[in-house]
Amino acid sequence: MQAATMDPAEEPPSLLWGMDPVFSAFARLYIKDILQMTESIQVPGIYFYNFHPIYKVDVLGTVVYKREREKFFCYGVDDGTGVINCLCWKNDLLKEAADPDKSAGKDSDGGQGGFNPAAELKKLKRAQQSRCRLEIGELLRVRGPVKTSRQQREIMASTFYKVNDPVMAVQIAWMMEVPQLYRQCYDKPLQLQPDASSDSAISPLGKATNIIKDFLKQRSVTRFRPYDVQELLEPLISNQRQAASADQEPVAGPSACQQLRQLLKETLQLLQDEGVVYRKVRSQDEVYNVTVQDKDLFIAVKDIITVDSKIEKYAEKGCHILHILTAVRHRYSLNVSKAVLELVLKSLECNSDIVSTRDNYYTVF
């Protein structure tokens, strides 16, 4: 299977990605295709296979190499089409020191006195540990988002476990199911772009949002005021009024200027909700900062994670996103939203400045 080679100009707008059911699912792709997927130019960490937006995958393969660190395992997984590195973070259970002789004694006592909850719990913990600690040649299943770290494609495992498959029943079922998914879904490009006849499928607000996003990206804008982008939306209002006048008799209503100001207000609010822009200082001078261009914000977030990760409370798991958000609001700006912070954290992680230890926890290398 060959991954799609996409011209950046052909990339579907991010507002339409949710129309593809693959976007919200763990895509069962061959590792070769995961390694060859094209990364989005709109949102780092999102990839495309035949125009399908993908950010999390489901892989089954054989462990061909392993590296163990204090907080995580690195497993090289081979499914027959390629090898990908899987970063699998240890849970608290794996970090506990186990004493086999002591455990065995407890188990035997439980056998003499009937059901022993402590002994059964010990057995369960050992079984869980054995499912997460793999050796070369064993079968591993990994699910999680795809990341590019140091120019290397890898999977940040949200779930991983050893698969016991003595008669290869799991592997055979997998090999029969995945080709069907390719034929029925992945190899059929989903046309997310509406054609000219269905241009009205996108609301004026959606069109306005795309126009301003494109402007901010093409011009590498760091800060702007509403009147700097207002004229960009004027064609939308004039086209809308022309279409309305052609369909019906003119009636009293908001003027073009009022409609333009309302559309601009709603668009800027939507951009703030998405974290694309924010107002660092609330004042009469309505200035918006573009999140991805705010270098001072990036430096502030990275410094907070670097310093606070050394505190004993956060040394093991890293800093939770809500802790980082509180610290950023205290030290940098009260107006930084969670959506803005998530965009900054994603960019920092993409650049290998930080790493997520688990969902919503971050630390430095």
Residues 206 and 262 in one domain: yes
| pLDDT at site 360 | 85
In what side-by-side order are the strands of the sheet with 223-224? 223-224, 288-290, 277-278
Domain termination residue (choose one: 230, 263, 291): 291
| pLDDT at site 61 | 96
| pLDDT at site 349 | 87
Q: Using the predicted structure, report yes or no on whether residue 32 has a pLDDT greater than 60.
A: yes
The helix/strand/coil state of 191 is coil
Please report which confidence band the pLDDT of residue 202 belongs to, taking 50, 70 and 90 as the band edges.
low
Q: How far apart are CA 31 and CA 210, in angstroms?
A: 33
Residue 1: inside a domain? no
- What average pLDDT score do residues 340-362 get? 88
Residues 181 and 202 in one domain: no
Residue 279 CA neighbour count, 13 Å, CB half: 11
Average per-residue pLDDT for the chain: 83
The reported pTM is: 0.49
The helix/strand/coil state of 363 is strand
> pLDDT tens-digit profile of 180-191?
999 989 998 776
If one compares 285 and 248, the residue with the highest pLDDT of the two is 285
How remote is the C-alpha of 2 from its chain's centroid? 24
Q: Using the predicted structure, report yes or no on whether residue 2 has a pLDDT greater than 50.
A: no
Residues 6+ apart with CB under 8 A from 193: 12, 13, 16
> Tokens representing 120?
């059964």
List, in sequence order, every residue forming a beta bridge with 53; answer none if it has no partner.
48
Q: How many CB atoms lie within 10 A of CB 205?
A: 15
> Tokens representing 160?
């991983």
CATH code assigned at 224: 1.10.10.980
> pLDDT tens-digit profile of 154-166?
999 988 888 999 9
Residues 96 and 230 in one domain: no
CATH code assigned at 343: 1.10.10.10
CATH code assigned at 167: 2.40.50.140
**Can you give the residue range of the structural domain that contains 304?**
294-363
Q: How far apart are CA 195 and CA 250, in angstroms?
A: 29
Domain termination residue (choose one: 129, 157, 186): 186
| pLDDT at site 106 | 45
Nearest to 157 by CA among 142, 169, 147, 168: 142
List, in sequence order, every residue forming a beta bridge with 75; answer none if it has no partner.
66, 86
Q: Which of 14-18, 43-47, 297-301 has the highest mean pLDDT?
A: 297-301
Domain termination residue (choose one: 253, 273, 291): 291
If one compares 284 and 1, the residue with the highest pLDDT of the two is 284
**Strand 152-156 with 223-224, pairing:** unpaired
Nearest to 148 by CA among 34, 286, 67: 34
Percent of the chain with pLDDT over 70: 82
Residues 176 and 36 in one domain: yes
Q: Using the predicted structure, report yes or no on whether residue 92 has a pLDDT greater than 60.
A: yes
Q: Using the predicted structure, report yes or no on whether residue 25 has a pLDDT greater than 60.
A: yes
Residues 313 and 351 in one domain: yes
Q: How far apart are CA 328 and CA 321, in angstroms?
A: 10
Residues 72 and 202 in one domain: no
